[in-house]
Amino acid sequence: MNSLFGAAAASARGHGMTSQRARDRLVATLRAEGIKDPRVLDVIRTMPRHLFIDEALASRAYENTALPIGLDQTISQPWVVARMTELLIERGVPKRVLELGTGSGYQAAVLSELVETVYTVERIEELLRKARRLFRTMKIENIRSRHDDGNVGWPDEAPFDAIILTAAGESVPRALCEQLADGGVLVAPLGPTGSQRLTRFRREGDAWHREDLEAVSFVPLLGGLG
């Protein structure tokens, strides 16, 4: 877990529409829309989301909306990031979390402030290179990243206390289920485009407990490398 954020602290503070006041407004919006965990809200308040998007969109960084990051990908809506994080830590903070779909790196950075180690996998090499540069700039030292097909996870580092998917499939790939530790939690958007729901699974031995939660909209979970 990190303090905010070494060499990036000056640019992280922002100004105008990226200022602390803008972040405080975002947190107030998230709280009004049902995000309750103060740990999550504190991270969202301090995390410089404007660094994870193109400079041309920086004035919109603290709106509660998804934004394009190129290559047909998006940075998730802050409410979605906060809600998925809240679901992961609700019954105890996991030590080792696997994220499938690094994207901009924002979700991984939020998790890095709360858990011991984040392992993140991205299939699009250009996105991963950008995220890695940002992690280095921000002095985030507890994120490990890999260029690979997210459907296969990171078997060499399994088992994980929690797994989070930031793209939607019809079901959770079997390889990922096998990499979740007994007692672990997995959060993923599931379903076809237009009818996806945020879903949480808890593993207890061979038993899996499923909760279907809020409606969401994510890019599809694709295989292969880009």
User: What are the tens digits of pLDDT across the range 112-127?
Assistant: 999 999 999 999 999 9
The pLDDT-based confidence of 16 (bands split at 50, 70, 90) is: low
In a domain, 49, yes or no: no
The whole-number pLDDT of residue 71 equals 87
In a domain, 21, yes or no: no
Provide the domain limits for residue 82: 67-216
In a domain, 39, yes or no: no
The whole-number pLDDT of residue 218 equals 85
The fraction of the chain above a pLDDT of 70, given in percent, is 92
d(CA 192, CA 173): 15
In a domain, 20, yes or no: no
d(CA 96, CA 117): 5
- 13-22, 98-107, 149-158, 184-193: least confidently modelled range: 13-22
Residues with catalytic function: 76
The pLDDT-based confidence of 9 (bands split at 50, 70, 90) is: very low
CA-derived radius of gyration, the chain = 16
Match 């599931």 to its residue by tokens.
190
In a domain, 51, yes or no: no
CATH number of the domain where residue 131 is located: 3.40.50.150
What is the per-residue DSSP string for 133-158? HHHHHTT--SEEEEES-GGG--GGG-
**Preceding omega of 173 cis (within 30 degrees of 0):** no
In a domain, 161, yes or no: yes
The whole-number pLDDT of residue 10 equals 40
In a domain, 42, yes or no: no
Mean confidence (pLDDT) of the chain: 91
Domain count of the fold of the chain: 1
The pLDDT-based confidence of 13 (bands split at 50, 70, 90) is: low
Q: Please give the average per-residue pLDDT across 168-186, as a whole number.
A: 94
Q: Tens digit of pLDDT for each residue in 30-81?
A: 999 999 999 999 999 999 999 999 999 999 999 999 999 998 889 999 999 9
In a domain, 210, yes or no: yes
92 or 5, which is more confident? 92
